[in-house]
Chains A and B, each alone.
Chain A
Amino acid sequence: AQKITQTQPGMFVQEKEAVTLDCTYDTSDPSYGLFWYKQPSSGEMIFLIYQGSYDQQNATEGRYSLNFQKARKSANLVISASQLGDSAMYFCAMRGMIQGAQKLVFGQGTRLTINP
């Protein structure tokens, strides 16, 4: 079975600071993908970044980067130079690529609040 754990229910950060959102995962699948989604107060789910388990480098997308530590089974999202518009719920998700039902499994989310 696959499991995603996000241990931070909420985080408060000053504008322009960097922020790290934690995500740990558990899977027996040798190949898997890790995703981060943002859900602002308007409710939509916005895809941010993807990391494959065999990717050699950590994924980056603009101000978003994924700190992937395979041995520790962690896939933390780093947001640099935070902005007020970054305030939202953030979900980590994973999907096995070989075994199991290959369903996308989500964590419980972290609510990020950026203070001016």
Chain B
Amino acid sequence: DAGVIQSPRHEVTEMGQEVTLRCKPISGHDYLFWYRQTMMRGLELLIYFNNNVPIDDSGMPEDRFSAKMPNASFSTLKIQPSEPRDSAVYFCASSQHLKETQYFGPGTRLLVL
């Protein structure tokens, strides 16, 4: 069975550019989560969706960040404009129910120069 798929795996961009990260959750999972991992702050939940609807976006750092889930098999996390402090590993995870185990994708390593 395919796990959570993320693309790209690595992204290097210049400050001010728009960055779009993509995620395909595990088929049949109703919940999708976006996390950010940095050395300083560890793993932080940015936003999560239930049945394609954003439920809690309180972890989104600022208006430069936005996330969408147009259908059950696809989600994007967009940063516009990007800044060097956005450099991190961004994970997407999905679960069948909110209280079930979350399965993570391989992550996107973002470097903003």
A residues apposed to B, CB below 8 Å: 33, 35, 37, 42-47, 50, 91, 95, 97, 101-104, 106-109
Contact = CB atoms under 8 A, between A and B. Distances in A.
Interface size class of B (residues with CB under 8 A): 20 to 34
Contacts, number: 42
The dominant DSSP class at the A interface is loop
The dominant DSSP class at the B interface is strand
B113 interface: no
A72 B38 CA distance: 30
A101 B56 contact: yes
Contacts of B93: 45
A37 B99 contact: no
B7 interface: no
Interface stretch (B16-24, B62-70, B74-82, B101-109): B101-109
Contacts of A47: 101-104
